[in-house]
């Protein structure tokens, strides 16, 4: 079983909204940061995506909020595999946001795929990236999803 990937941050000034707590768009931004750390640590830093002329494309984000977080709160964000196509061209990933007391603050489920910068169509990712994606710890509701890539 794979270990759950995670990173810890602090809620910063730029992350809070008018109500003084972590704003909804900040959840999305922090989730992307965690994903990019994972990709970089697995051989795909941003410049590698640019060099190979492809990247992630997000088709759907669904977030559920449970608890509030405030400026300077410590936040732990996990990253797991909620679904993937057999060719790894499409994925469903999950980020969960935990407060320092361990309580779940939010759950973000994202559906996406890998897009070629030239053709603007979904592609199968390089083997090393597919392997990294498949190495992510699966969520309890993990499922294989259909691909839309035509060979």
pLDDT at 111 over 80: yes
Cα distance between residue 32 and residue 93, in whole Å: 11
Q: Calculate Rg over the CA atoms of the chain.
A: 16
Q: Which domains does the chain have, with CATH numbers?
A: 5-137 (3.10.129.10)
pLDDT at 1 over 70: no
What confidence score (pLDDT) does residue 126 get?
97
Question: Nearest 5°: phi and psi at 29?
Answer: -60, -45
What confidence score (pLDDT) does residue 151 get?
61
Q: If pLDDT is split at 50, 70 and 90, which confidence band does 106 have? A: very high
Taking residues 28-53, what's their average pLDDT? 97
pLDDT at 35 over 90: yes
Whole-prediction pTM value?
0.94
């Amino acid at each position: 079983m794979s270990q759950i990937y995670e990173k810890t941050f602090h809620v910063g000034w730029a992350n809070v909204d008018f109500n003084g707590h972590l704003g909804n768009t900040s959840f999305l931004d922090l989730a992307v940061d965690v994903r990019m750390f994972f990709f970089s640590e697995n051989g795909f830093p941003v410049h590698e995506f640019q060099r190979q002329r492809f990247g992630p494309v997000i088709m759907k984000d669904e977030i559920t909020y449970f608890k509030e977080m405030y400026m300077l709160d410590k936040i732990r964000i996990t990253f797991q595999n909620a679904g993937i196509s057999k060719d790894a061209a499409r994925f469903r990933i999950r980020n969960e946001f935990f407060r320092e007391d361990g309580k779940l603050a939010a759950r973000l489920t994202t559906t996406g795929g890998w897009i070629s910068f030239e053709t603007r169509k979904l592609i199968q990712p390089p083997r090393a990236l597919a392997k990294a994606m498949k190495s992510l710890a699966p969520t309890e509701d993990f499922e294989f999803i259909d691909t839309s890539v035509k060979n």
